Structure formats: C-alpha cells, structure tokens
Amino acid sequence: MKNGQQKIHFWNGNKSSTRREYEIQLLSLCLEQAGMLEAEILVDQKDYPSAIDEGNIFSTECDVLVTVAGNQKFLGKPIIVIEQALCCGLLGHRLLIISKEHKEHFAKLDSLEQLQQMTVGIPATWADADLFRHNGFKVSEKGSLDELFGRLLDKKFDYIALGANEVETVFKEFLQEHQPELSDQSCPLLIEPTTLIYYPLPLVFYVHPDRKNLASAIERGLKIAIANGKHQSLFEMHHPNLVNRLDLRGRKKFQLANPHLPAAF
C-alpha cells in the first residue's frame, strides 16, 4: 500500500463532542500538510468506561489518539508522544458549572482553601481526578460526562470543572437534551462567571509505537501548520474570541500543580 493511501485508525472517544470535532480536523490538517492527501482516517468514537481498557487502546487497531501529556493510563506502555501542545493550553483553564442557588457563594470565594472544602464532580477515567486529589480537593469520580449534570442536579457534589475550550458546548448540549423541559432561564445550573481554576494540561498526539513513519508525518505536518498559520486558523474557527467572551483574563484564578506534567512542557 502506498504511503499516501494508508488507513489510519484514530481513536477519538472519552471526550466532549467539541473536542472530537476539533481533534479530527486537526489530525486531517496535519496529514494534509505532510503531503498525505489520500490517507483515509477511520474514526473510532467508542467510549471506554474502564481506565485499563483506555490504557490498552493501542492493543486494538488504534494508530493515533489525542490525550493529555503525561496521561497515567499509558504509564510504562510503549508509545510515541509528539511533544507539541495542540489546544493553546485551554483545556487546563477550567470553568465551573454550578447550581444557580450557589452563585453568590462562588462569587465570594477568595482562597484556594475555600474551594478545596467543596467537592468537584469528574467522570470516571478522566485524568483530572488524580490531579484534583493531588492538590487537596474532594473528588466525586463516577460515571460518564453525560451523567455528570444529573448528579450535579441531585446535589451529589458542588461543581463541574470543564476546559474553557469545551464548557459552553457541553452545557448547550445538556440544555438541548432536556428541552423543552429546560431553557437558559429555567435551568437551575449555570456557567459560573467569576472563577477560573488553572493547571497545565496540554493535549498532544499519542501514536502507536510501531507507526514511526506516521508519527513523523503528523509531527512534520503539525510544525508546518503552526508555521503557516493554518493551525491557528483552525483553532480560532473552533474557539472564536473565546478568551474575551469568557473573560479568562478577568476572572479570579486558582492555580493547581500537575504532578504528571512531562519535563518537555
């Protein structure tokens, strides 16, 4: 099979729809910039509720995926990591979804200790759970992203923390799923407007250890796309005016440490 005609199995599960769309288009852009114009990307969006199954994804047909740098599910496993952040650090800028009845309480928060006294809800297998626990937070880790809002409504925890690159879309999809039962006005939840939790959480490509040529092509294409501005254009298309719209600079920021952040970042 010629290099430009090869099939590439891309696992794109266990994440929000907005990330899925951006990441598949980014992979396509990288391959295009590397000259692999006829490569066929076979997208697998299966969700794996087990961290063990996700960590063994390269034992299936998977060739490449996008995940956080230093993902502990792949610790000790042979992989190729392309050490270039893909999302301008936005995933680590966490905005909160809370109950409207607690809006005033969150607006008055002025210390990390106050935030640590509350409980954050995180889907099972997400790398964020260990990170929050490492930083002294109470964590309720259970279920899928789809189930998270119901658990917040049932007061099983105090807030959800999602990346600035996905929080609006995830919240909108929740509202649409519950329409006409809920609307922006009648929904008892909201995206909290004053608070930002930040920790370094770069997204990177992981490639099957036997696909060195593919890894080289993706890395080469990504560098070209960054240099010629096409990566930035794709990013802005998916995240238009996001920094200003969500007032990321004006929020009170609580910074956490990421103990698994690779030295390269």
Residue range 64-107, pLDDT digits in tens? 999 999 999 999 999 999 999 999 889 999 999 999 999 999 99
Q: What is the mean pLDDT of residues 167-194?
A: 84
57 vs 180, residue with greater confidence:
57
pLDDT at 4: 45
Contact call for residues 22 and 166 (beta carbons, < 8 A): no
Strand, coil or helix: what is 183?
Answer: coil
pLDDT at 2: 45
Query: Which of the four pLDDT bands, split at 50, 70 and 90, describes residue 180?
Result: low
Note the Cα 118 to chain centre separation in Å. Answer: 22
pLDDT digits (tens, 9 = 90+) for 231-244: 999 999 999 999 99
pLDDT at 53: 92
User: What is the percentage of the chain residues whose pLDDT exceeds 90?
Assistant: 80
Instruction: Please measure the distance between the N-terminal and C-terminal CA atoms of the chain and give it in whole angstroms.
Output: 36
Domains (range + CATH), the chain: 3-87+203-240 (3.40.190.10), 90-198 (3.40.190.10)
Taking 50 as the threshold, does the pLDDT of residue 1 lie above it? no
Query: Which of the four pLDDT bands, split at 50, 70 and 90, describes residue 175?
Result: confident
- Phi, psi at residue 160, to the nearest 5°? -110, 140
Placement of tokens 């802005």 in the chain? 236
pLDDT digits (tens, 9 = 90+) for 15-30: 888 999 999 999 999 9
Query: Which of the four pLDDT bands, split at 50, 70 and 90, describes residue 247?
Result: very high
Q: What is the mean pLDDT of residues 168-183?
A: 80
